[in-house]
Amino acid sequence: MAISFDSPEAKTRPRKNTRKKFIPTKSVFKEDESPILIDKDEINREIPKGDLNGINFIFTLSRVPIEGSEHIYLNGLLQENGEENDYIIRNSDIIFLTPPERDYKLRCTYYYNL
């Protein structure tokens, strides 16, 4: 039995939200709703240059990330940016406060300016 959207049953029945959220990637909207182009691109799961040997604590990315856009993963765990946390970034260098152990897996996802 089909239920009309105007029926009392339809008004009390919870509806699933099937609409997808719009998340802009290459453009954003100003208050007047006109699109503007953002000159940026994304790098996913980059392996930074540097030896994972338990001694080295500086690793280099291929591009300079936009500040705050980076996600650094060490053995699949997201690391926290900051001098009291896990690492800091200077230009394209990731500087760990404690050197990663030998054979750890290091990956980085970030946005950079074109």
Q: What is the pLDDT of residues 43-79, one digit of tens each?
A: 999 999 999 999 999 999 999 999 999 999 999 999 9
CB 100 within 8 A of CB 52: yes
The residues facing 7 across adjacent strands are none
Instruction: Decide: pTM greater than 0.85.
Output: no
Q: What is the pLDDT of residues 84-101, one digit of tens each?
A: 999 999 999 999 999 999
Domain extent listing, the chain = 39-113
Percent of the chain whose predicted confidence (pLDDT) is above 70: 67
Q: How confident is the model at residue 7 (pLDDT cuts 50, 70, 90)?
A: low
